[in-house]
Every structure is written in C-alpha cells, then in structure tokens.
Structure 1
Amino acid sequence: MGYGLIITAALLWSLIGPLSKLAFREGLSPLEVAFWRAVFSWGLFAAHALIKGQTRFEIRDVPVLVVFGLSGVSLFYVSYQLAVQKGGAALAAVLLYTAPAWVTVLARLVFGEVITRIKLIALALTICGVTAISFGGTSLPGSTLTGWAVFWGLVAGFCYSLYYVFGKRFSVGYSSANLFLYLLPIGIVGLLPFVSFAAKTPTAWIALLLLALVCTYGANSCYYASLKHIEAGRASIAATFEPVFTAVIAYFWWQERLGLWAAAGSISVLAAVFLVVLERTENKHP
C-alpha cells in the first residue's frame, strides 16, 4: 500500500508541467499560475488543518516561516512555472531533481554533514547531467534551449532542496497541513505585487484548480500517507518516477521530445538521485 501511495504521489506531481502548459495556452502568465496554485492550495490545506485541529503556531518561528514561505512557495512556484514555459515540462521536471545535489552542499554548510564519496559521485553526475542537458536542447517541439530554461530549472531545484533544510526545523511539532496553513499565505503575499491578472476561460480555471487539488494537496497527502507504511528513503526513491511520468505525459499530450544529449543528461541526474537516496537508506540499515 505504501508504494502504491508514493507512486500515486509521483504521478500526481508529474501533472504539474502539463497542466501549467494548458494554463499558459489559455493566456495565463507563469506568475499568475503560481499565484492561483498557491491560493487554491492554501484553501485546501487550511480546511484540512482546521478540521484536524492542526493550527499550532509559535511566534518565535515567524522569521523562519517568512524566509521559507518566500523561498519555498513564492520563488519555488514561479521558478518551476518559468522552467516549464522556457524549456518544457519534461526538462523542468528533470532539473527539479538536481535538488539532492543542492541538499548535499547545503547540509554541509548548514548542518556540518559529511560529504561522502557517494555524495561526491552524485554531485559530479548531477553537474555532468545538467551540462549535457544544456547542450541537448529543450523538449519543446521546434524550439531551442535558452540559458533561462536551465537557470529557472536549477532555481526550482535549489528551492525544492530548501524543503529538506527547513523541513528539519519544523519536523517536530508541525504537521504538513499545519505548516502549509502558514507558509502559503506568506508565499501568496510575496507573489501578489508581481502578478498581472488576465481574463480566464473555464479551461484555465479548471487547470488552476487541478494544479492545487491534484498536484499539490492530493500529491502531498499521498506522499505523507505513504510514510506511515514505508521509510522516507525508500519513498524518495519511488518519488523519482515523477520526471519519468512527466516525460511520458508531455510526449503524448504536448509532443515534447528530449534530444539524445538531454536524455543522457536526464539519466545522469536521476542516477545521482538514486545514489544519494540509496546511501541514506543503507545507512539506516547497517
């Protein structure tokens, strides 16, 4: 059951790129898509937290919550939408998974964790993979890769890695719904000054609602439910199916194709993820 839940979470996460592209096609900007995703997601997490009575709040946590909200919601949501727009859903999903490399560096700087040989190999694989992707072209039909596509993908990966750093800070005392109850409004406020609102078609509203309900609240719920049945390390391995699912969906829905170099780079990045997570799992089971 645990693996079924985490595979479901990966599948739901993989719809972020394709649904975002649908919203872009309906005339919405990446900033507006990020804004409404945060707004609708907050409504769902807030309802969950209130129903469950998970509304704990400590004044001393405010500064860290503000930094986490601006980086983990405002910048993360926008950077991923821009990566999808500039380079395609498949490419954005792969670059998102440079997060373990960022975690390795941040864990050393923030927590003083040792960088093992496996982590160094994973870091090298990630760098090689991103380099290959840079030369391999975008997954968008008839377009060429720009530096901005790689840049925003790497920014998204970095912001994603911050969930590990800040997550350790809030792992005791805050449930997922409790944390998002306060994080998302901060992220929304951070996005609001930069958003230009466009007239929306019914299709655009459906895409936005699905991004919140399916890809954010639903995926998050499945992921945390899976942790009741399997350990976090094994769940992380299964979650790496997300870019694979994204590539398949983007291929059939939007005719996106990764070039040879980009595909090789993607494999290199995902191999790095597996190495890091496998090492973490083995360390828990000597």
Structure 2
Amino acid sequence: MFAGYALVAAAALLWGFIGPLSKFAFQAGMSPLEVAFWRAMMAWVLYAVHAWRLSRMKVDACDLPWVAGFGVVCIFGLFASYVLAVRAGGAALASVLLYTAPAWVALLAWKILKERLTPVTVAAVAVTILGVAGVSLGDGANGAAGAGGSMNLAAIALGLLSGITYALYYIFGKAFLNRYATPTVFLYALPVGGACMLPFFSFEPHPLSAWAACVALAVCCTYGAYSLYYAGLRRIEASRAAVIATLEPVVSALLAFSFFGERFTALGYAGSALILTAVIMTIVAARR
C-alpha cells in the first residue's frame, strides 16, 4: 500500500511542475499556446507507442465524434486555458484555481448525468466559491496581478476555465469513453487538441531551454505523471489517491515562490486553503 501512496505522490509532484516549467518556456520566448501544442504532440508520441504495445488502437466509428469532442474541450480547453492562466496570474494561482474542478464535477454530474447532489457536496461547492472569492480579493499572486497589484480578472477567469475543462474529463469519461484504455483515447484526442491550437501561434526558432521545458512537460508532467497516478490507483483506493493528488497546488506554489517569488496575501492563502478543503470534502462525500 505504501508503494501506491508513493506513486500518487510522485505524480502530484510532477503535475506541480507544469506551471513553473511553462513559465520557463515563456521566458525563453515561446508563446503559451505553442507550449501547450508541443506538450500535447510530444505526449501523443508516447501515448501512441503505449497504445500500439497494448494492441488497443481501435475506436468504434460511432465513438469518434465523442473522442474528437474530448480533444477539443478537454485537451485544447484545458491545456490552453491552464498555460494562459499561468501567464496571466502565475503558476501558484493557476494551480489553485485548477482544483476547483471537483466542485464543477459535482455540478456538471448533477446537471448532465443526473447524479444526486448531497448536502456535503453542496457545502463543498459553497466552500469552493468562498475560496475563489478569497483568492480573487487577495489579489492573486504578487507580481502576476494587474498593475498596482489590482485583481487580475483574466487570470481568475482562465484559472476557473481550466478547472471546468478539467472537470469535463470526468464527464466525458463516465458518459462516453469508459470503454477504452487511457492511451487509446489520447491517441486520437491529443492530435485533435493540438490542431485546435495551430491558428493561435506561429512556429519560430527557440532556444534549447524552451524545448527542454516542453519535453519535460510532455514526458514527465503528462505521460509520466498519468502513468504513475494510474499505477498508484491499482494499489490504493481512488478517493485516497485523489486526496494525495492535492499535493499538486502545494508543490506548484512552493516552486513558484522559489523560482519566481510568487506569493499570495493572507486572504489569498485562506482562499487557497478553502478550495483544497472543498476538494477533500467532495472526495470524502463520494467515498461514503
């Protein structure tokens, strides 16, 4: 069991590097959407090899529109909104707002999948809203907010959008794609998401540091992190794995502070704590 916890913790550690690595690529002159594109397409190579080795490369024709929709909404939507949130508000703020996803899952599952909203789930959604308000009124992370430290509405909106598109992973998976292995879905969805990003940037030469950041994002933070996470899930309960995964925003915040000097105000830290508390409340309610 200890191995399962260690594997999930390692995955969360790698996910925590997404924001800081993206910022390194930005500083090297690569645009956010180009970073998202190369992350998707480099990871696609790894998933393609994985699907081929599993001999699970086929998707039924009737499911192809749903896989393509997953690529547009969840790959393009999440990868793009997250890196744009990192650029607009910093890695720490983006990672915290990404973890509004469980609240969005509860609301979307109630609306789309007709799942029941329990009192604990409703309370978790309310706590999430309070947390977002705290982060917003706390002016996000210093150095990434608007001029004079004013609240960066674009960063908040993009961070919330990343949380919504992350939540839609669950909706697509449960409603349409639960018959396929993860490498099979990503084999088809990643190129669709990558294609959606093409109109928003132009290919230009970049220094080696930018390419190194993209390779690390694809190999370590995407393919590697998901592989570790699912290996951990084979050893421990999903609810416990999800709680451990909340290490991600903590790791991202620590890295953002260490490398870029990002930090929240007291109200921002309180809001971040509320969001993570809501995540744990949602997971505990689901487990029960």
Could you state the TM-score of these two structures normalised by the residue count of structure 2?
A: 0.95
1:229 partner SS: coil
Residue in 2 that maps onto 1:57: 59
> Which range is displaced more, 236-245 or 133-142?
133-142
Could you state the TM-score of these two structures normalised by the residue count of structure 1?
A: 0.96
Match of 1:264 among 238, 256, 270: 270
Cα distance in 2 for partners of 1:88, 1:40 equals 24
Deviation of residue 138 (structure 1)? 2.5
Cα distance in 2 for partners of 1:36, 1:220 equals 17
Q: Counterpart of 2:284 in structure 1: which amino acid?
A: L
Cα distance in 1 for partners of 2:162, 2:239 equals 21
Q: Deviations over 1:16-58 (max 9, x none)?
A: 0000000000011111111111110101111111122121210
Task: Indicate whether 1:68 and 2:70 are aligned.
Answer: yes
Confirm or deny: 8 A CA contact 1:131 1:265 kept in the other structure.
Answer: yes
Deviation of residue 116 (structure 1)? 0.7
Task: Indicate whether 1:150 and 2:139 are aligned.
Answer: no
Residue in 1 that maps onto 2:167: 161
> Which range is displaced more, 15-24 or 60-69?
60-69
Match of 1:121 among 107, 123, 141: 123
Cα distance in 1 for partners of 2:89, 2:199 equals 25
Confirm or deny: 8 A CA contact 1:35 1:195 kept in the other structure.
Answer: no
Closer, same or farther: CA 99–22 of 1 in aligned 2, 3 Å: same
Residue ranges of structure 2 left out of the alignment (5+ in a row): none
1:8-27 equivalence runs, <5 A: 8-27=10-29
Residue ranges of structure 1 left out of the alignment (5+ in a row): none
Confirm or deny: 8 A CA contact 1:19 1:211 kept in the other structure.
Answer: yes
Residue in 1 that maps onto 2:235: 229
Cα distance in 1 for partners of 2:138, 2:231 equals 37
Q: Counterpart of 2:97 in structure 1: which amino acid?
A: L
How many aligned positions are there? 282
Confirm or deny: 8 A CA contact 2:25 2:213 kept in the other structure.
Answer: yes
Closer, same or farther: CA 155–242 of 1 in aligned 2, 3 Å: same
Deviation of residue 197 (structure 1)? 2.3
Q: Counterpart of 1:248 in structure 2: which amino acid?
A: L
Residue in 2 that maps onto 1:100: 102
Cα distance in 1 for partners of 2:124, 2:179 equals 32
Cα distance in 2 for partners of 1:84, 1:142 equals 9
Which runs of structure 1 show a deviation greater than 6 angstroms over 4 or more consecutive aligned residues?
none
1:141 partner SS: coil
What is the root-mean-square deviation in Å for CA atoms of aligned residues? 1.2
Cα distance in 1 for partners of 2:185, 2:257 equals 35
Match of 2:254 among 233, 248, 256: 248
Report the identity percentage.
45
Confirm or deny: 8 A CA contact 1:98 1:269 kept in the other structure.
Answer: yes
